[in-house]
Amino acid sequence: MQHLTNGNNVGLVIGRQGQVVGSMPWNLSFITNSITDFNMYYRGGGMLFPLYLYSETSEQQNTNHKPQERTPNLDPKIIQQIEKSLGLTFVPEKETEGNV
């Protein structure tokens, strides 16, 4: 959950055990940009997969602190396969333009 409280991020929440309430197939997914209650789905709970992982900080943040670095929470092998298939290069962060 800390990866959703540290900045601009989204996460995929997937129901862990949709079948705990009977013979239903898996049918639970949700997109969030904030922390969520893991018991929002039936009795099986959910698993959260954030798009970005933020570096941990060990000191108290103040007004002079630098933003935390983040890295995509994606398997590099899958990224390479997608790049190869599409003939594109993966860019983990959009470069800022102008005076932001």
pLDDT tens-digit profile, the chain (100 residues): 778 887 688 998 887 665 555 666 666 788 888 888 766 665 667 788 898 888 876 656 555 556 678 888 999 999 999 999 999 998 887 766 655 4
Residues 58 and 65: beta-carbon distance below 8 Å: no
The full set of domain ranges for the chain reads 2-58+67-86
pLDDT, position 82: 92
What's the CA gap between 27 and 17, in Å, rounded? 10
Contacts of 98 (CB under 8 A, 6+ apart): none
pLDDT, position 43: 61
- Please give the model's pTM, rounded to 2 decimal places: 0.65
pLDDT, position 69: 81
